Amino acid sequence: MPKFKSVDYYNFDSLLTEEEILIRETVREFTEENIVPIIEDHYMKGTFPMELVPQMAEMGMFGATLLAKYGCAEMNNVAYGLVMQELERGDSGVRSFASVQSSLVMYPIYTFGSEAQKDYWLPLLARGEKIGCFGLTEPDFGSNPGGMITKAEDLNDHYLLNGAKMWITNGTIADVAVVWAKLNGVVHGFLVEKGTKGYTVPEMKGKHSLRASVTSELIFEDCKIPKENIFPNTSGLKSPLMCLNQARYGIAWGAIGAAMGCYDTALNYALSRIQFGKPIAGFQITQEKLTHMLTEITKMQFLTLQLGRLKDKGVSRFQQVSMAKRNNVYHALEIGRIAREILGANGILNEYPIMRHTANLESVKTYEGTHEMHTLIVGEDITGMSAFE
């Protein structure tokens, strides 16, 4: 297949800085040379490509927006978004790994952690020497995390943790889990380390989506958590939601990458597939499909870039993040399906990335706030009336 080219119909690049472009090109090259050649194999086997982690760390992809003193790249949110875009053009599972490590593990340690927690964990996580996961969702509490039943008790010299988390990316391979549990009825964050007695992490099997990613349950049975492992600076459910807001922002960019991968594949296929004596790109129905895909990708780019610029100025609102995540994943999934139609039967083969991207996006549409919840978050923002509380 020809080398992936940037999708840029509206001179989008003219709005990026030289550094932002160089960062995107660097991660694009990394994806092309390191993810694309191996990902189908991992996906079919249902394994996460651990071999990528050291190089991703070396390049600085974990916690990339955090301070240089912790070994991080200290880049802006737009550059971080472009990294997510390029990784997800490879695979949503690889992007998910980086999202979780950065936005759901390093960000909360950075934001809510003690100095000792930051000094110990952040450099290790940035170097990829330790892997983290984030436990909020429970088997019976997904869209309604406030109902969580995982709880911690203060037993003077330690906390006692009991409960279970589900759908946890990186769970089984994680060295540390950021776990949210109720202490005296209020949500608090705890660092639970691998090897803690009573802490088990069975991997969830049988997925038809995000197969190149580890998804696990976290089970806590009378786990003794050292006192120093609680986050000192959290404020109820708002804290984990702040983390999700970071991750959702990265997902909005990531979805553009998956969509670009599908569009690029479909365009190349349409130009070379001959039916009735001419390339199918020359038929009106195919052109309508390609036009729709490119239009949606172009709209996503500008929506998300402006969100990133607002975020860099510190004035973005979480409802705006909801709109971008909701819109981009919805259309990326639609683009995946249309791309599959253009490829006909070939679209289902793993010779092309389309079916994998599309199946992945089914998860992405639901995780980190479902499409429906983001609809209601924006709906509440518009009308002042909550449809879910």
Partner 1 sequence: MKIVVCVNHVPDTEARIKIGADGKGIDKSGITYILNPYDEIAVEQGLRLKEKFGGEVIAISLGGESNKETLRKTLAMGADKAILLKDESDRDSFSVAKALSDNLKEINSDIILFGKQSIDFDNSQLPGLVAEMLNLPSVSVVVKLEIENNQVVCEREIEGGHEKVESRLPVVLSVQKGLCEPRYPSLKGIMAAKTKLIEEKPVISNSKKVEIVSLRLPASKGTGKIVGTEPTAAKELVRLLHEEAKII
Residue 26 as a binder of partner 1 (CB under 8 A): the answer is: yes
Residue 13 as a binder of partner 1 (CB under 8 A): the answer is: no
Counting other chains too, the contacts that 151-158 makes at CB distance below 8 Å and 24 or more residues apart are: 151/181, 151/182, 151/183, 152/181, 152/182, 152/183, 152/188, 152/190, 152/225, 152/230, 153/183, 154/183, 154/184, 157/227, 158/224, 158/225, 158/226, 158/227
Tell me whether residue 31 or residue 322 sits nearer to partner 1 (CB atom). 31
CB of 363 to partner 1, least distance (A): 26
Residue 22 as a binder of partner 1 (CB under 8 A): the answer is: yes
Number of residues this chain uses to bind partner 1 (CB under 8 A):
22
- Only one residue has tokens 């651990």, namely 50
Cα–Cα distance, 181 to 188 (Å, whole number): 6
Which one of residues 35, 53, 78, 83 is an interface residue with partner 1 (CB under 8 A)? 83
CB of 325 to partner 1, least distance (A): 23
**Two structure tokens written together for 344:** 């006909």
Expressed in percent and rounded to 5, the helix, strand and coil fractions of the chain are: 60, 15, 25
Residue 380 as a binder of partner 1 (CB under 8 A): the answer is: no
Look at residue 259 and give its three-state secondary structure.
Answer: helix
Tell me whether residue 53 or residue 61 sits nearer to partner 1 (CB atom). 61
Tell me whether residue 98 or residue 166 sits nearer to partner 1 (CB atom). 98
Angle between helices 77-90 and 284-313 (to 10 degrees): 150
Q: Shortest CA distance to 271 belongs to which of 281, 286, 259? A: 281
Tell me whether residue 75 or residue 152 sits nearer to partner 1 (CB atom). 75
Piece of 16-24, 84-92, 117-125, 305-313 that binds partner 1 (CB under 8 A): 16-24
b/e map 72-92, b = 16+ CB within 10 Å: bbebbbbbbbbbbbbbbbbbb
Tell me whether residue 60 or residue 261 sits nearer to partner 1 (CB atom). 60
| Phi (first) and psi of residue 180, to 5 degrees | -105, 125
Contact 291, 266 (CB under 8 A): no
CB of 323 to partner 1, least distance (A): 27
Which one of residues 3, 197, 208, 238 is an interface residue with partner 1 (CB under 8 A)? 3
Look at residue 85 and give its three-state secondary structure.
Answer: helix
Which one of residues 66, 79, 181, 343 is an interface residue with partner 1 (CB under 8 A)? 79
DSSP tag of 277: T
CB of 284 to partner 1, least distance (A): 28
Tell me, residue by residue from 54 to 73, as one string, x for binding to partner 1 by CB under 8 A and - for no binding.
-x--xxxx--x---x---xx
Contact 279, 272 (CB under 8 A): yes
Whole-angstrom Cα Rg for the chain: 21
Catalytic member of 368, 372, 380, 389? 368
Which one of residues 7, 30, 42, 357 is an interface residue with partner 1 (CB under 8 A)? 30
CB of 192 to partner 1, least distance (A): 29
Residue 136 as a binder of partner 1 (CB under 8 A): the answer is: no
CB of 6 to partner 1, least distance (A): 9
Residue 124 as a binder of partner 1 (CB under 8 A): the answer is: no
**Two structure tokens written together for 204:** 């969830």
* Residue 372 is a catalytic residue: no
CB of 88 to partner 1, least distance (A): 17
Q: How many CB atoms lie within 10 A of CB 273?
A: 16
Residue 71, class by beta-carbon neighbours within 10 Å (0-12 exposed, 13-18 middle, 19+ buried)?
A: middle
Tell me whether residue 277 or residue 384 sits nearer to partner 1 (CB atom). 277
Tell me whether residue 21 or residue 204 sits nearer to partner 1 (CB atom). 21
Q: Which residues are catalytic?
A: 368
Q: Which residues bind partner 1 (CB under 8 A)?
A: 3, 18-19, 22-23, 26-27, 29-30, 55, 58-61, 64, 68, 72-75, 79, 83
